[in-house]
């Protein structure tokens, strides 16, 4: 009986000592602070680099047209905008060539029939974690005819420019054309252009 009582007393003292040590350890961790130098040092600024150009898979032209596959590319501006600004189309320009930043080099809405490549450059503002920007090209003469639709998924935190490239190895039929721009399938804006016969 004495051995059991002594053993029980020793176990109780050991348990009390462990609880006391554990409580001391907890108290020290709760009051520990970070060194002042680490707390006041500014976080390093993240480097901002322009995204690599993106291209869509070739989209075959619809029946009755001779247009070659079209592609798209996107460039985001280095200047960030407010993160709560709604993503929207700001401007659409047409042209024969684009700059390295995917902007139209010389805007025009009139093209020669022999101009094999026509670009539609879409400037957007606002931010989006991912939106699908699409350009639907159509020929407006006669009964009208779809030429092609090109889509590009983009993510941006500020102004961006997305360029859609429409290519035809042959001469374009003369007449009026239209490009309709949509964001996630919802119409945003449109631009008409004309091809003049050679």
Total domains in the chain come to 2
Q: Which residues pair with 182 in a beta bridge?
A: 134, 187
Q: Report pLDDT for 110.
A: 97
pLDDT in tens, 91-140: 999 999 999 988 999 999 999 999 999 999 999 999 999 999 999 999 99
Of residues 142 and 35, more confidently modeled: 142
Q: Residue 57 has which token pair?
A: 């898979």
pTM: 0.60
Same domain, 76 and 17: no
Helix (H, G, I), strand (E, B) or coil at 17: helix
Q: How high is the mean pLDDT of the chain?
A: 72
Look at residue 44 and tell me if it is in a domain. no
| Domain membership of residue 14 as a residue range | 2-29
Same domain, 102 and 149: yes
Helix (H, G, I), strand (E, B) or coil at 42: coil
Same domain, 97 and 6: no
């Amino acid at each position: 009986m004495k051995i059991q009582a002594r053993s029980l007393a020793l176990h109780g003292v050991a348990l009390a000592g462990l609880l006391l040590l554990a409580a001391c350890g907890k108290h020290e961790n709760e009051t520990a602070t970070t060194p002042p130098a680490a707390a006041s040092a500014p976080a390093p600024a993240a480097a901002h680099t322009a995204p690599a150009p993106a291209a869509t898979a070739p989209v075959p032209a619809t029946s009755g047209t001779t247009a070659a596959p079209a592609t798209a590319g996107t460039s985001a501006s280095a200047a960030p905008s407010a993160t709560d600004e709604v993503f929207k189309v700001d401007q659409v320009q047409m042209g024969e060539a684009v700059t390295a930043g995917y902007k139209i080099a010389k805007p025009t809405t009139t093209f020669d029939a022999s101009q094999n490549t026509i670009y539609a450059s879409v400037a957007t503002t606002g931010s989006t974690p991912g939106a699908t920007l699409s350009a639907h090209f159509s020929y407006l003469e006669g009964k009208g005819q779809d030429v092609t639709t090109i889509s590009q998924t983009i993510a941006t935190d500020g102004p961006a420019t997305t360029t859609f490239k429409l290519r035809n190895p042959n001469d374009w039929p003369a007449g009026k054309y239209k490009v309709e721009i949509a964001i996630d399938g919802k119409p945003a804006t449109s631009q008409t252009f004309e091809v003049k016969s050679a």
